[in-house]
Amino acid sequence: MRFITCGLIASLFAGFSFESLAVSGEWPQFLGPNRNGTYAGDPLATVWPQEGPPIIWQKKIGQGFSGPVVASEKLILFHRLANRETVECLESATGGVLWKFDYPTAYRDDFGFDEGPRATPAISDGKVFTFGAEGALHCLEFATGKKVWSVQTKAQFSASKGFFGMACSPLVEGDHVLLNIGGANGAGIVAFDKTTGALAWKATEAEASYSSPVAADLNHKRAGVFFTRVGLVILDPKNGRLNFEFPWRPRIEASVSAATPLIIQDRIFLSASYETGAILLSVQANKLQKVWSSDDALSNHYATSVHHNGFLYGFHGRQESGPSLRCVELRSGKVRWSEDRYPAGTVTLAGEHLLILLEDGRLILAAASPDRFKAIVQAQILPFGVRAYPALAGGFLYARSKDKLVCVDLRRKP
């Protein structure tokens, strides 16, 4: 594995202009522009050098499972340095720091895991929205890092930190910022005015899961779709009015549901581990109808699956038990292929390919084909300890481990 540090770039590439690295695409929120793990930029390279794809820069970072996000040639990193949750804005081409904002945190993980923030920030309308492990919601100016407003949601709504801290990645929809907080007195799901931080509405008594919400058009109406600790909730993101509730949760109490719902036309795919499995629901005018469900098809532990041409690709089984990577037919739940050689990780769809980032730091490019699993190229880009989702923007992959952030050039060369 060959790394190029920021400090060596100038001497190694004298006369090289970073303007050629300008990012044309964006990855401004959790799971990308459409919150479904799909990259819509130019095709990626399918041939890599023997030592792996070029690593443009690397940076030592603090704790956290929060993924990087990218917009307007800037990267937002949310991590913990010492006893402060820290938001940094970096030049996406060089890793150079543009601004920094931080605040104190006393979060301690009950199980000895990472003690940094879990939720991935969102960039929208010139603002950055972050949600810390203790429930601190912040709105910052994207250009300067200046605080616009903040809300201490754990205290204000009497919310529990759950097993592993608060982890909902903010969803910016219309005039609101939506979060699955799991607060008391009807504050299971809460919306804030994105300009002022004022409470816009609250809904449900549902405890928070580790799943982040998504917005989509269902039955020709805009809907906020949440997978809470007790099941699916679909509501109007403007006012919080409930449209559907569908109880569906793991059978054991000591469990988490972490995968984000996938919206595929008028169908919703949910998946969770801990003896839960997967379910495909059809959204009808006045009801939700089950298409199929299975305990043995595709039980996502923490990583959301992706959909391509009628097939789902994702990890099946508990992370600590050795999951398998699978392709499952969307319409039936039939397993088309299953690979047991890999540890847990995340899957991003890039055109006709799957970009798989494993916990051990390996990056794999594979064909998104239901016929068989075919790894095209792979390389070690990070050390062991990768849990956060990467960002893929303009052909550059931004990925982090527990203590390192890298920028990898995956562009197809002319």
Dump pLDDT digits (tens) for 133-176. Answer: 999 999 999 999 999 999 999 999 999 988 999 999 999 999 99
Judge whether residue 1 has pLDDT over 60: no
Judge whether residue 10 has pLDDT over 60: no
* Res 6: pLDDT: 33
Confidence of residue 215 (pLDDT cuts 50, 70, 90): very high
Confidence of residue 195 (pLDDT cuts 50, 70, 90): very high
- CATH number of the domain residue 32 falls in: 2.130.10.10
318 belongs to a structural domain:
yes
CA distances from 370 to 32, 313, 326 (A): 23, 9, 9
Give dist(CA 399, CA 391) in Å, integer. 7
Task: Using alpha carbons, select from 367, 409, 413 the residue that is nearest to residue 392.
Answer: 409
What are the structure tokens assigned to 271, written together?
């998946």
Amino acid, single-letter form, for residue 262: L
* Region of poorest pLDDT, from 54-58, 203-207, 316-320: 316-320
**371-390 burial code (b ≥16 CB/10 A, e <16):** eebebebbbebbeeebbbbb
Task: Using alpha carbons, select from 112, 94, 105, 109 the residue that is nearest to residue 130.
Answer: 105
Judge whether residue 241 has pLDDT over 80: yes
CA distances from 396 to 18, 47, 175, 355 (A): 13, 15, 31, 12
Judge whether residue 216 has pLDDT over 80: yes
pLDDT, the chain, mean:
92
What share of the chain has pLDDT > 90, as a percent? 86
Mean pLDDT of 56-85: 98
Residue 87 contacts residue 128 (beta carbons within 8 Å): yes
Q: How many helices (H) and strands (E) in the chain?
A: 2, 33
Integer distance in angstroms from the first to the last C-alpha of the chain?
A: 24
* Res 328: pLDDT: 98
Dump pLDDT digits (tens) for 91-150. Answer: 999 999 999 999 999 999 998 889 999 999 999 999 999 999 999 999 999 999 999 999
* Res 406: pLDDT: 98
Judge whether residue 28 has pLDDT over 90: yes
369 belongs to a structural domain:
yes
Q: Which domain holds residue 295?
A: 6-409
* Region of poorest pLDDT, from 264-268, 286-290, 359-363: 286-290
182 belongs to a structural domain:
yes
Residues contacting 406, CB < 8 A, separation 6+: 3, 55, 57, 58, 59, 381, 382, 398, 399, 400
User: How many beta carbons lie within 10 A of that of residue 146, not counting itself?
Assistant: 10
The residues that bridge with 306 in the sheet, in sequence order, are 313
414 belongs to a structural domain:
no
Confidence of residue 88 (pLDDT cuts 50, 70, 90): very high
* Res 321: pLDDT: 80
* Res 251: pLDDT: 78
pTM of the model: 0.93
Residue 120 contacts residue 128 (beta carbons within 8 Å): no
Q: Is 330 left (phi over 0), alpha (psi -120 to 50) or beta?
A: alpha
**Structural domain count of the chain:** 1
* Res 7: pLDDT: 34
